[in-house]
Amino acid sequence: MSIRVVIAEPRAAARAALSLLLASDPDIVVVGDAANGAGAVALVAAVSPDIALLEVRLSDMGGLEAISRIADRPGPHRTRVLAYSNYAEDEDEFFLPALSAGASGFLAVESEPRAVRAAIRALADGDSWLDPRHARRLITEYVSAAGPRPIAAACQGPALTARLSAREREVTALIGRGYTNGEIAEWLSLSPLTAKKYVSRLMAKLGARDRVQLALIASRAGTSLAS
């Protein structure tokens, strides 16, 4: 089944380029595009795509408001938001707010075309997408500021480790350091498929909405994961 994507990007040339890029993947189909925040929200409501690929600087209601409305849209079908910025200076400003607004991933400015397609596939599979640099920054910011959403006591310290096997603790600790599935597989001498299964199992076991929240849980558990 194809992954249905809408693009929200203020520049017509960039929208066309993204459409061409995604058209090169036989499993992805672009079902619409919008030039501003209000248009993006209306388009998602009309076509119920799997993924909204959304630039954070949109006119009208703005990218963050659009992310929030799309992520919180009621109904059985959830559209997941993959946010990005066209400018490096905006990346630092909007990365954390975009995740707080409900985005399930954030693309780095320097992302290669294959990373864009991989990110869309990851979100469609129920995972999230952060490059290691963003993941590590998210964890640092969350730990230093206690984060916008407290983690339940059952998912902290000894209470968490008691629920996990030794291997699951190892995988969780690596997620907390911002490792990708591929890096986890290499570090623990696992197959990429096995690493992915561990991550999915941990999200279910710990009640994490996505990989971002799982990384936050891991960071709060801290050194107890090494026990």
Query: What pLDDT digit, counting tens, does each position of 2-14 carry?
Result: 999 999 999 999 9
**Dist. CA 7–CA 43, nearest whole Å:** 10
* pTM of the predicted structure, to 2 decimals: 0.70
Pairing type for strands 80-84 and 51-55 reads: parallel
Instruction: Compute φ and ψ for 111, nearest 5 degrees.
Output: -60, 135
CB 40 within 8 A of CB 34: yes
**Dist. CA 220–CA 13, nearest whole Å:** 43
Residue 190 domain flag: yes
CATH code at position 120: 3.40.50.2300
Identify whether residues 37 and 106 lie together within a single domain.
Answer: yes
Residue 43 domain flag: yes
Identify whether residues 123 and 215 lie together within a single domain.
Answer: no
Query: What confidence category does residue 154 fall into, taking pLDDT thresholds of 50, 70 and 90?
Result: very low
Identify whether residues 69 and 174 lie together within a single domain.
Answer: no
CB 203 within 8 A of CB 172: no
Query: What confidence category does residue 153 fall into, taking pLDDT thresholds of 50, 70 and 90?
Result: very low
Q: Which region holds residue 3: left if phi is over 0, alpha if psi is between -120 and 50, else beta?
A: beta
Q: Per mean pLDDT, which range of 123-137, 178-192, 196-210 is the poorest?
A: 123-137
Q: Would the pLDDT of 65 be above 50?
A: yes
Q: Residue 157's domain spans which residues?
A: 151-226
Residue 10 domain flag: yes
**Dist. CA 80–CA 23, nearest whole Å:** 19
Identify whether residues 159 and 207 lie together within a single domain.
Answer: yes
Provide CB contacts within 8 A for 100, sequence distance 6+.
Answer: 148
Residue 87 domain flag: yes
In the chain, the amino acid numbered 133 is: R
Residue 144 domain flag: no
Q: Would the pLDDT of 118 be above 60?
A: yes
Looking at the 3D structure of the chain, how many domains does it have? 2
Identify whether residues 62 and 157 lie together within a single domain.
Answer: no
**Dist. CA 167–CA 23, nearest whole Å:** 39
Residue 84 domain flag: yes
Identify whether residues 107 and 202 lie together within a single domain.
Answer: no
pLDDT at 152: 44
CB 221 within 8 A of CB 157: yes
Averaging pLDDT over each range in 60-64, 68-72, 201-205, which range is the top one? Answer: 68-72
Residue 172 domain flag: yes
Residue 135 domain flag: no
In the chain, the amino acid numbered 111 is: S
CATH code at position 191: 1.10.10.10
